[in-house]
A = this chain, B = another copy of it.
Amino acid sequence: MRSDEPVGTARKPVTPARKKVGRPSRLSQPAIVEAAQRIVDTEGDGSLSMRRLARELSITPMALYHHVRDRDQLLRLLLETKARHQPRPTLPDAPRERLTAAAQLLYDVLAECPFLGEILTSEELMNASSRWVTEAVLEAALGCGFTLEEAVALYRAVAHYTGGELLIRLTRERHLAHLDHPPYRSQAMAALQPQTHPRLTALADRWPALTARDTHEAGLEALLDGFFRTLDRSGPPSPAPS
């Protein structure tokens, strides 16, 4: 609920406490964002076009451009609004657990945004995501004893890992949904020659089961573990052997 970020300002958001009481000029940035969210929820993010959105609001497509610079800005607005209204759980106090929870939070927040792939096509993940999640991860990392540089590097690694996982999973699900011909993977797997791809062919029939498992948490844990190893090395004595 707190008004946390600007983002808006196509020209001027204005909204001067309402005109009087009559018609508050109908259109407003929040109203647009809300309508956009409605479309995404009911028809999927593939249906969210400026024209479709205008139709939803019963206005001309061009009217939108008075409250929003372009489609990119609309998508960012959408993600930020979502992130702002996301519940903010209290994180554990123990440093290591706090960091894990904060990193997991990034996943949870971003997972709410099926149009994430489109955002990525227009800006970085960190900008797109809500700043409070970033803040939580940095804070937790510093609390673990990482330096500023290390904390930022850690944040970025977590963001890349998380973003990659989500993008791949989301698009995979979307794709499988409306598919008539058998998934491309089956064909590709079936055509592998054992002599050039021994492990893949050996794995072929178990691959679907193996990749269906949710390994996000395990991978995240490994990633954080790896960063903690560098901490252990530099933290105690021993001035780095090699």
The residues of A with any CB-CB pair to B shorter than 8 Å are 2, 4-7, 69, 76, 117, 120-127, 131-132, 134-135, 138-139, 142, 148-149, 151-153, 156-157, 159-165, 167-168, 171-172, 175, 181, 183-185, 187-188, 191-193, 196-200, 203, 206-207, 210-211, 213, 215, 218-219, 221-227, 229-230
Shortest Cβ distance from residue A11 to the other chain B in the assembled complex, whole angstroms: 12
* Interface SS majority for chain A: helix
Shortest Cβ distance from residue A197 to the other chain B in the assembled complex, whole angstroms: 5
Q: Which residue of B lies closest to A210 (CB)?
A: B152
- Inter-chain CA distance A69–B181, complex, in Å, is 11
- Inter-chain CA distance A164–B164, complex, in Å, is 4
- Inter-chain CA distance A142–B149, complex, in Å, is 34
- Inter-chain CA distance A168–B149, complex, in Å, is 20
Shortest Cβ distance from residue A113 to the other chain B in the assembled complex, whole angstroms: 15
- Inter-chain CA distance A219–B225, complex, in Å, is 11
- Inter-chain CA distance A60–B223, complex, in Å, is 50
